[in-house]
Amino acid sequence: MTDDKPIPSVWARPHRERQQPLLTRETIVAEAVRLLDEEGADNLSMRRLGSRLGAGATSLYRHVASKDELLELALDAVYGELPLPDTGEWRTTLTEVAHAMRATILRHPWLAAKLAEAGLAYLGPNVLRQSEFMLGVMEDAGFPLDEADAAMTTVLAYVIGVTTSEAAWVSMVARSGQTEQEWMEKLWPAAERAVRDYPRMRARYSAQKGGDSSTSNADAFAYGLERVLDGLQARLDSL
């Protein structure tokens, strides 16, 4: 008769792989960003996120106190994608930062609304790092620190304001399951009928027909940014 009693040693037991990945704040936030990118802020919940991570919502609350706190962490994580370019010239530097922020928001469309919300605490390390960098750029350009802060806020307000509309468009097209070109082709006849009695709008639509809307948006963004920077340059010249 054989003895099936296991040998009482940890080394004799078969090694079992961990079934659930170790949860950390970093892994939770990274998965939250992916969920937000794929499904939008309205679909973010601790239960839904826990399901994607193979964990219960209770496990997440050990690392993140609430959904609002999770959104703050996700926003700061995405801010970490922004560059700190050292061009030696303030306009060139701000232009690079502004275009990078626009590209980041379009990669993460939910970000625009979160940036525009009042009451969100921008005390994360990546947000503070970017703010300190931009303040330094403006101060080195010749603005006193208080005006450097106002100048930075002006540039950010332009970027966020314009890109919020773009991000909303990107999200709407994504929800439709169509490409941007397919969506525009279907929308265009209705748009042409709507502007029929408005000659200036009709001329603008006619000029844009068949064009690449992404290129047009990028060009419009660049134009507006240059005019904002022209205004700041004029203020610098008067100091």
What CATH code would you report for 10-78? Answer: 1.10.10.60
| Residue-level pLDDT, tens digit, the chain, 239 residues | 556 666 666 566 665 555 555 789 999 999 999 999 988 888 899 999 999 998 888 888 888 888 888 998 999 999 999 999 989 999 999 999 999 999 999 999 888 878 766 545 578 899 999 999 999 999 999 999 999 999 999 999 999 989 988 887 777 777 777 777 776 777 778 888 888 888 888 888 787 776 666 678 899 999 999 999 999 999 999 98
Q: Is 83-177+209-238 CATH 1.10.357.10? A: yes
User: In the 3-class helix/strand/coil scheme, how is 9-65 assigned residue by residue?
Assistant: CHHHCCCCCCCCCCCCHHHHHHHHHHHHHHHCHHHCCHHHHHHHHCCCHHHHHCCCC
Domains 10-78 and 83-177+209-238 share a fold: no
Q: How many CA atoms lie within 13 A of 171 on its CB side?
A: 20
- In order of 76, 96, 116, 140, 141, the CA distances from 89 in angstroms are 27, 11, 28, 9, 8
| Rounded (10°) CA dihedral 34, 37, 40, 41 | 60
pLDDT at 167: 80
* Residue extents of the structural domains in the chain: 10-78, 83-177+209-238
Q: Calculate helix-pair angle for 67-79, 46-53, nearest 10 degrees.
A: 60
